[in-house]
Amino acid sequence: MAPFLAIQLQNDPEPPRRLKLIQALNFLLCRPSNQAQAPLILQILLRDLETEPIYCLIGLQTLQGIASVSQHLASGDGPRLIEQLITAWPQIFEWIWQHAFHLDIPRPLSTDSDSRDYLSTTIKILSFYAGYPALLRSAAENEMTGPILLSARLWYLKAKGLDTSIPSSIASLCRTYINSSLSSPDEHCTAFGFAAKEPRINLSPICSIASLNDGVSSTIGLLLRAPSAEFSAPSPDLSSIAAHIGIIVTLSRARRFRYLFINHHSCLIITNTLVSLGNLAKTASDRSVVAQCASLCVKHLCLVLEAAIGFEPILEALDAMLLPALVKCHAQIPQLSATEHDAASLLTLVLSKYLIYISARERVSKSLETIAANGFEQLLAHRSPFAVAWSAFKALAVQRAQIQERPNRIKNEIVCSNIMCRKSKPKGSMATCGRCQGAFYCCKPCQVEDWKHGDHKSKCGIPYERKNFPIATRDLRAADEVFRRDLALRLPDIRAAWTTRAAPAPVVVFDYTTHPPGFSTTTAEAHQPHGHASEKQALFWGETVGMVERARRRGWRRALS
């Protein structure tokens, strides 16, 4: 199939059909059996870039497709293809850059959506080109740079402390272009990493933030795949990687609650970047740049994961060996251990509260085994912020791992949607909300209570969105076991706190960002469960600890969250 498509690509002059062929080939090239077609596709790309400017958009996707082949190829052929790609980059980028100067890249169509896609593609191309700082520098210093690059030139010179050398006419034109092109500083982000220091500054043309996020993430992946002991190519340009990670951090800051689903997809690439940086730390000539990159990676993960974007990104980051990468980076980069506080916050404020779930605990246990085997834990700077946070996190993880999972004896068992109930029954025996068909109840009273006093009334009828990342029943059941244990341990303290109040507060809230978990008491009216996790962690006291049954009969509603 791949050879046939390659021949058709070579003979078909229509850009829309060529674009579809490229997309199909990118999928097929991921298969080792089609690896021999990659050089042919690259030759077609180079020829097209010399003759047809409109193929620039197609060429970008071809680059990404060929670059992704290496991870699926045998070790003998992978380095050869990557070397060919690296050798071809200067020629490709030189062509792209020269045409971008004069805005000679034609727009495929004139509709608004296609125009936005065109501008997004241009930004992604420039992002690829930023991997060559020498060419970027010469372009930024060229006073003939076209309007689309004036903002990059202005901020490049500002970053170098050369503001006085900017002709007033160019600076004025640049500012006019920026002001006329951008409607909201939160809606658009810069195409270069200078805005990482000033997240509200936006220097790119209007473009799709999703496309920009995807393009920058792909660029980081390409830059990180370039270095290897098997390749003759030089080490990656770490300053370029830092600039691209800075863009990701900027995207995280820009209305992060609105772009949570987009940012979720960048979490995995940033985690993989952190793993690669840990591998580079020992051999890098300038560890301060590696430290800068690692610090930006951790900052992004803190910004996004702390925003409670869901359970799935946490599991994906742990699967990608986030914890071993953190320990390895802090063990090998003294600058990072001495100054980095975001990593400590990531452990204590974000990851620790997910240890109530068995899926997270299993992954953390696997990571702890890896860390124990590689020996980097012993190299952490004594009493550094990260070392202290790591010690507390590890102790909590070990303690949580000792809590046994309650056996599931019933197939297809689900939990009652009334967060004050928590009973589990087979799905077929549960009552379903007749309006949304998305809530299940073990009995009619639970359904009535959830409608009157819970939050289902406000959510009923809202279409299901995948970004909610629902927590599995197994994890909810395991969380119940944690609640039961902690409630029994802290019950004397809770009773002592109640004796100091005129009337015992009916709700106790546990804080799982500390070890041992802290607690606070409040009234039922003031208690507002927040976030996707806490609203599924409420629990009737009477279902947890028999010692409070008498209090429950007196009418006190007890919840644990």
Region 425-442: mean pLDDT is: 79
Residue 192 counted as domain residue: no
Lowest mean pLDDT among 178-182, 190-194, 358-362: 190-194
Return the number of other C-beta atoms located less than 10 Å from residue 233's C-beta. 16
Question: Which of 106, 141, 161 is the C-terminal boundary of a domain?
Answer: 106
Does residue 25 fall inside a structural domain?
yes
Q: Considering the domain boundaries, does residue 299 fall inside one?
A: no
Instruction: Give a yes or no: residue 417 inside a domain.
Output: yes
Q: What range does the domain containing 91 cover?
A: 1-106
Query: Is pLDDT of 6 > 60?
Result: yes
Among residues 106, 131, 148, the one where a domain terminates is: 106
430 neighbors 424 (Cβ within 8 angstroms): no
- Beta-strand ranges (E) seen in 352-457 are 413-415, 424-426, 431-432, 440-441
Q: How confident is the model at residue 75 (pLDDT cuts 50, 70, 90)?
A: very low
How far apart are alpha carbons 178 and 168 in whole angstroms?
15
Out of 43, 72, 106, pick the residue that ends a domain. Answer: 106
Residue 194 lies in a domain: no
Residue 432 forms part of a structural domain:
yes
Query: What 3-state class would DSSP assign to 14?
Result: coil
Give the model's confidence band at 207: pLDDT under 50 very low, under 70 low, under 90 confident, else very high.
very low
Angle formed at CA 373 by CA 295 and CA 228, multiple of 5 degrees: 55
Residue 333 falls inside a structural domain? no
The upper half-sphere exposure of residue 130, i.e. CA atoms within 13 Å in the direction of its Cβ, equals 30
Least confident of 37-46, 157-166, 170-179, 186-195: 186-195
Give the chain's length: 561
Q: What is the pLDDT of residue 542?
A: 32
Number of domains composing the chain: 2
In this predicted structure, the answer to whether residue 121 has a pLDDT above a threshold of 60 is no
- In this predicted structure, the answer to whether residue 109 has a pLDDT above a threshold of 60 is no
Q: Is residue 121 part of a domain?
A: no
Q: What is the mean pLDDT of residues 323-333?
A: 88
